[in-house]
Amino acid sequence: MSKIKNQNSKIHTAGILDYGMGNLRSVGKALEAAGARVIVSDSQKKLAQSDVLVLPGQGNFGRAVSTLEKIGLMDFVKEWVVQGRPYLGICLGLQLLFERSEESPGIKGLSVMKGTVRKFRSFKSKYKIPHMGWNQAVPLKNAPVQRIVRLKEDFFYFVHSYYADPMDKSIGWTKTIHNVPFFSSVARGNMIATQFHPEKSGRQGQLFLQTLLTKYYF
């Protein structure tokens, strides 16, 4: 993976939370290529020294919550986001921000945003579940973050069977269609979360990460 020239002279540290879910190596390499110094850890002390907390992940919502609680980082992540510190959630790292998921009834998420993570209903044969592969993420013109980052409509890589349905629609940044239109990324303050995988999205994914590091977070 080629490194994109970082226009910001200061190198910031991205702390990737290691809770055993997701391809941490790919995420780390993508962030390094975008100009970040990367640490991968499940240590609250080490992660607290990061400039931006990264929560990736693929897998089951309930299992992720259970694991984060077991290693004592559930409250740490919630406090980080509530305090307005830079946060990047990828795939499951987006879904966990919400109150609940249809994947794991009765399990409470981080609840820093109101809403439910819903399962795709396959009532049109051309839309397969899981939603896997390249699809367009279309920026919403009225999204506050779009005025700063100016993300262009482009294709990103997706792997998921569930999508976030926030009560506050103003947090939506991009929309994607797979059977139904859904928010493929959300943003509020220093919190950015994507349903797509920037680390699997080639040069466009690298540019997306670099833009966050140099034009949005810092």
Tell me the pLDDT tens digit for each residue of 77-113. 999 999 999 999 999 999 999 999 999 999 999 999 9
Residue 71 has pLDDT above 80, yes or no: yes
Catalytic residue among 12, 91, 103, 160: 91
Of 2-6, 123-127, 180-184, the poorest mean pLDDT is in 2-6
Secondary structure class of 40 (helix, strand, coil): strand
Residues 6+ apart with CB under 8 A from 211: 149, 151
Residue 139: closest CA among 178, 183, 97: 183
DSSP H helices, the chain, are 24-33, 44-47, 61-70, 74-82, 92-95, 146-149, 202-211
Query: By C-alpha distance, which of 184, 186, 176, 162 is closest to 60?
Result: 162
> Catalytic residue at 102?
no
E strand residue ranges, the chain: 13-17, 37-41, 52-55, 87-90, 100-101, 115-119, 131-139, 154-160, 162-166, 172-178, 180-188, 191-194
For the cut 80, the answer to whether the pLDDT of residue 215 exceeds it is yes
Q: 216 or 13: whose pLDDT is higher?
A: 13
Q: Is the model's pLDDT at 2 over the cut of 70?
A: no
CATH architecture type of domain 13-216: 3-Layer(aba) Sandwich (3.40)
In angstroms, the CA 186 to CA 143 distance is 9
The phi-psi region of residue 123 (left if phi > 0; otherwise alpha if psi is between -120 and 50; otherwise beta) is alpha
Catalytic residue from among 12, 160, 178, 197 = 197
CA-CA-CA-CA torsion sign (83, 84, 85, 86):
positive
Task: Report, in angstroms and rounded to the nearest whole number, the Rg of the chain calculated over CA atoms.
Answer: 16
Arithmetic mean of pLDDT, 53-65? 95
pLDDT of residue 6: 44
Based on the residue annotation, tell me whether 91 is a catalytic residue of this protein.
yes
CA distance 85 to 33: 22
User: Would you call the peptide bond into 130 cis, given omega within 30 degrees of 0 as the criterion?
Assistant: yes
Claim: this prediction has a pTM higher than 0.85: yes
Q: Are 159 and 21 in contact (CB under 8 A)?
A: no
Instruction: Specify whether 69 is catalytic.
Output: no
Residue 27 CA to residue 130 CA, distance in Å, equals 21
Buried b (16+ CB within 10 A) or exposed e, 91-123: bbbbbbbbbbbebbeeeebbebbebbbbebeee
Q: What is the structure's pLDDT at 125?
A: 64
Handedness of CA 121, 125, 127, 129 (dihedral sign): positive
pLDDT above 60: residue 34 = yes
Distance CA 25, CA 69 (A): 23
